[in-house]
Amino acid sequence: MPMKKELCFAVVMVVLPIVTMAQTSTPPVKMGLWQTTNISTMTGFQIPPEVAARLQAMGKKLPTGQPQTTVTQSCLTTEKWQKMFTDMQQNRNCQLSNQHQTSAGFSADMACRSTDGHHNSTGHIEVNFVSSEKMQGKVHVEVISESQPKPIVMDMSFDSAYQGDDCKGVSPDLAKTVR
């Protein structure tokens, strides 16, 4: 299921920098441990029967079109904040348009293409900074792939809550899946 991993990675690489994008070096949220609940739904993804059988034999879940919930913890530092902003500015595979930013949130349309040119996606993102200790948002992405007969549609909503200034061993470079 490399396409699903690539799609999820692409969404995360677009969402995380946008969530933290600010025109100043002062983040609108606290630094430290954050816990995020993601609810995502993916439709239109078709797996060849032989691949599905192998995945099931390995005990892997197949995309069902039903909402999937994932809870992660991540460590946000000032350095990570600045790096995500820099990375977003340098991402040549994704372009943002119709950007609207205030101290309370951010919204934008996005268009991305895979490095191999086999997948193109468009979407919309909205992020709300509810407070310095709470963020929430939603993302809608449609992917056109040469290997799929119809568009893959991914909808995700997320709620993030500040857990404290101690990251409890969670690396700023890698989120930890809680469930």
Q: DSSP letter string over 127-169?
A: EEEEETTEEEEEEEEEEEETT-SS-EEEEEEEEEEEEES--TT
The more confident residue out of 78 and 137 is 137
DSSP 58: T
Please provide the average confidence, as pLDDT, over all residues in the chain: 82
**Mind listing the pLDDT tens digit for each residue in 100-133?**
888 888 899 989 888 888 889 999 999 999 999 9
Helix %, strand %, coil % of the chain (to 5): 25, 45, 35
| pLDDT recorded at residue 6 | 45
**Residue 8: alpha-carbon gap to chain centroid:** 7
What span, in angstroms and rounded, lies between the C-alpha atoms of 123 and 109? Answer: 6
Among the ranges given (101-105, 135-139, 174-178), the one the predictor scored with the smallest mean pLDDT: 101-105
Q: At 149, is the pLDDT very low, low, confident or very high (cuts 50, 70, 90)?
A: confident
Comparing 57 with 25, which gets the higher pLDDT? Answer: 57
pLDDT of residue 82: 77
User: Could you tell me the residue ranges of all domains in the chain?
Assistant: 2-177
